């Protein structure tokens, strides 16, 4: 039997660099798109994660494991030298080689953030900025080099990503497109785990903001193995909200929230001391924000109230009825109007709606929804907490624009996928957040561009303000008139539910709302109403479609008495005393009671 022998292939001998350790000067280098590298002993390094008082540096070549450590002197300021702890496996390159390495790094980063990257368009775009690239490396070589070193990794669970987030394999999630550290810290409290992402430069720049919006209700479709919630902290700047911090969290407990926001308060944003925070009515989040930012006025948004009622409608399988039955829809819209009313009138309007609903043929269909509003909102949260009358920031939905951009980023890539998927992976979510951060920087720094286009809610918000002004200037108010003025805003909130991923919601309904018993009302100076309006009675009339009876509330500001009754045939009112006091109309702030 003949032996078959393969020819011996002589392996090429790679030139190994002479190992060198020690402390060397760090020379920053800024290349295309303001991406910063550094030069250390003639070798290019990229910035890696910072922890405690050290920042890691790694050789820019993916095949080299050289590392160095750079000490931090103060926040955001590092020494101009670093200690090389792992040597290189290659020699120093010339200027052309260094430019090639930086170019390949940029193309690789773009590929990591966009799977549909067009190599030719990127190559031509960069060559227009730096024509020398065309002479250094060809397009064909670019494709070969990038694809050869490109790797993908998808953690199967949230817990696995939590374990891997600080390793080199997750580098693409740790930094923004221009090289700023995006991953900030991780947190754990029992079974709850969370990861915080933010651009510290942006946070520092916006720390003078006096208004925050904290959202923990944005829904992202994921697989059954990956369950998490996105919590977003937005800062108010130039008449719009800027999403500055993002938290991925698997279980929303009070313990995990305390660790996250205490870290933000003490370390990430020590200068951030807002006067007002608008957030969800979720109990754990509400309590922690009130405790950590004890000098800030914390209040829930009208939009969260809308979300809660709509999710309850979906859980009750009333979505189709809501879309096809005008009578049900009218009562539903009237319920959504409650937070916009003066606090003193909410209970009376609620009682009237409930009474008229009981007289209708649709009551059995609507009863679970009315029971939910009564138990969770009227009795647990109470009108003093969820009423937003004359609190403009709590109806200000300029927050929608950045979330719409994020939703677009999450949806568009799926359309380009050959295999359709109804869920988004954790890695894709963080990649989209990085893209959003990059987009926002371009929008807010380019003077030729507007911030965010005004959406429909901005116009409808003005109608709410006009309706509030109408109440102050008209002593006799028909609630239908008020309802007609704010109905456009209510419908606008409904239409924007799809942005939060809640249209025809199919998930669990486990909202744990804040309880008013944990807070005390601190009354400040009352709002000054015009003398003409203050000397007359205020009449609020409640009327629902299909009914002939008008229920009336009369508020007499001088003595603080409120009465309710029915309009009789001759146009006069048959009134009954109530225990409601006009004191609730005064401007109030909510103070967290830690011993409750």
Give φ, ψ of 453 to 5 degrees: -60, 140
Gap between the Cα atoms of 468 and 465, Å rounded: 5
Q: Do 468 and 187 touch, CB atoms closer than 8 A?
A: no
Structure tokens given for 273:
């001391």
SS3 180: coil
Please return the burial class of 365, using the count of CB atoms within 10 Å of its CB with bins 0-12, 13-18 and 19+: middle
- Reduce the DSSP state of residue 164 to 3 states and report it: helix
Q: Which two tokens stand for residue 586?
A: 């005064």
User: Can you read off the two tokens belonging to residue 64?
Assistant: 């080299």
The neighbouring-strand residues paired with 46 are 58
3-state SS, one letter per residue, for 301-358: CHHHHHHHHHHHHHHCCCHHHHHHCHHHHHHHHHHHHHHHCCHHHHHHHHHHHHHHHH
For residues 554 and 576, is the Cβ–Cβ distance under 8 A? Answer: no
Which of 575, 522, 519 is closest to 552 using CA atoms?
575
Q: For residue 19, give the nearest of 2, 38, 43, 39 by alpha carbon.
A: 43
- 3-state percent helix, strand, coil for the chain, nearest multiple of 5: 45, 25, 35
Give strand pairing partners of 297.
276
CA diameter of the chain: 120
Q: What are phi and psi of 389, to 5 degrees?
A: -60, 125
- Residue 227 has what pLDDT? 83
CA distance 344 to 342: 5
Residues of the chain with pLDDT under 50: 4, 6-7, 9-15, 414-421, 450-451, 453-454, 523-596
Query: How many whole angstroms separate alpha carbon 422 and alpha carbon 406?
Result: 17
Query: What's the Cα-to-Cα distance from 347 to each of 139, 330, 378, 397, rounded to whole Å?
Result: 70, 18, 8, 25
**DSSP state letter for 166:** T
Burial letters 461-470, b for 16+ CB under 10 A, else e: bebbeebbee
- Rounded to an integer, what distance in angstroms lies between the CA atom of residue 189 and that of residue 249? 11
**Distance between CA atoms of residues 291 and 262, nearest Å:** 10
- Is residue 537 within 8 A of residue 561, CB to CB? The reply is no
User: How far apart (Å, rounded) are the C-alpha atoms in residues 52 and 57?
Assistant: 15
Distance CA 289, CA 15 (A): 58
> How many residues in the chain?
596
Q: Are 533 and 475 in contact (CB under 8 A)?
A: yes
Taking alpha carbons only, the member of 209, 278, 286 closest to residue 242 is 209
Please list the residues that pair with 189 across neighbouring strands: 192
User: H or E stretch including 209?
Assistant: none
Sign (positive or negative) of CA dihedral 373, 378, 384, 389: positive
Token pair listed for 253: 């407990």
- Partnered with residue 229 across adjacent β-strands are 249
- According to DSSP, residue 379 is labeled I
Give pTM, 2 decimals: 0.79
Residue 563 is predicted with a pLDDT of: 37
């Amino acid at each position: 039997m003949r032996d078959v022998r393969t020819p011996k292939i002589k392996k090429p001998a790679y030139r190994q660099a002479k190992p060198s350790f020690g402390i060397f000067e760090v020379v920053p280098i800024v290349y295309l798109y303001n991406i910063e590298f550094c030069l250390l002993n003639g070798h290019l390094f990229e910035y890696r994660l910072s922890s405690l008082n050290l920042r890691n540096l790694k050789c820019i070549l993916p095949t080299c494991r050289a590392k160095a450590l750079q000490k931090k002197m103060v926040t955001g300021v590092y020494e101009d030298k670093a200690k090389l702890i792992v040597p290189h496996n290659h020699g120093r390159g010339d200027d052309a080689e260094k430019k090639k390495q930086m170019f390949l790094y940029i193309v690789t980063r773009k590929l990591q953030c966009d799977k549909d990257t067009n190599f030719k368009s990127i190559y031509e775009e960069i060559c227009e900025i730096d024509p020398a690239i065309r002479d250094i490396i060809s397009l064909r070589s670019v494709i070969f080099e990038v694809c050869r070193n490109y790797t993908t990794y998808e953690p199967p669970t949230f817990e696995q990503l939590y374990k891997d987030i600080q390793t080199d394999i997750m580098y693409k999630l740790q930094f923004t497109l221009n090289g700023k550290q995006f991953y900030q810290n991780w947190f754990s409290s029992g079974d709850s785990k969370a990861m915080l992402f933010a651009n510290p430069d942006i946070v520092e720049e916006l720390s003078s903001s006096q208004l925050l919006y904290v959202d923990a209700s944005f829904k992202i479709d994921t697989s059954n193995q990956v369950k998490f919630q996105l919590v977003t902290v937005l800062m108010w700047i130039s008449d719009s909200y800027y999403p500055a911090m993002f938290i991925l969290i698997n279980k929303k407990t009070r313990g995990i929230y305390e660790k996250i926001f205490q870290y933000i308060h003490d370390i990430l944003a020590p200068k951030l001391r807002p006067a007002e925070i608008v957030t969800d009515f979720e109990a754990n989040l509400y309590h922690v924000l009130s405790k950590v930012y004890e000098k800030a006025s914390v209040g829930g948004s009208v939009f969260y109230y809308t979300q809660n009622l709509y999710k309850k409608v979906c859980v009750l399988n009333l979505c189709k009825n809501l879309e096809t039955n005008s009578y049900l829809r009218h009562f539903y819209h009237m319920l959504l109007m409650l937070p916009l009313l003066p606090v003193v009138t909410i209970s009376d309007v609620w009682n009237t709606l409930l009474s008229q609903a009981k007289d209708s043929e649709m009551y059995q269909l609507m009863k679970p929804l009315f029971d939910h509003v009564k138990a969770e909102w009227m009795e647990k949260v109470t009108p003093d907490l969820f009423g937003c009358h004359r609190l403009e920031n709590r109806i200000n939905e300029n927050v929608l624009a950045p979330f719409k951009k994020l939703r677009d980023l999450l949806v568009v890539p799926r359309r380009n996928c050959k295999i359709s998927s109804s869920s988004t992976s954790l890695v894709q979510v963080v990649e989209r957040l990085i893209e959003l951060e990059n987009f926002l920087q371009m929008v807010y720094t380019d003077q030729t561009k507007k911030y965010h286009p005004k959406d429909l809610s901005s116009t409808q918000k003005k109608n709410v303000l006009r309706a509030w002004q109408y109440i102050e200037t008209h002593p006799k108010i028909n609630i239908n008139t008020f309802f007609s003025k704010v109905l456009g805003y209510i419908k606008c909130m409904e239409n924007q539910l799809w942005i939060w991923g809640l249209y025809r919601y199919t998930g669990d309904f486990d909202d744990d709302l804040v309880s008013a018993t944990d807070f005390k009302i601190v009354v400040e100076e009352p709002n000054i109403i015009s003398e003409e309006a203050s000397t007359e009675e205020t009449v609020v009339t409640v009327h629902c479609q299909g009914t002939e009876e008008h229920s009336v509330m009369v508020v007499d500001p001088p003595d603080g008495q409120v009465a309710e009754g029915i309009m009789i045939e001759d146009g006069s009112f048959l009134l009954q005393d109530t225990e409601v006091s006009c004191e609730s109309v005064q401007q109030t702030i909510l103070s967290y009671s830690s011993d409750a």
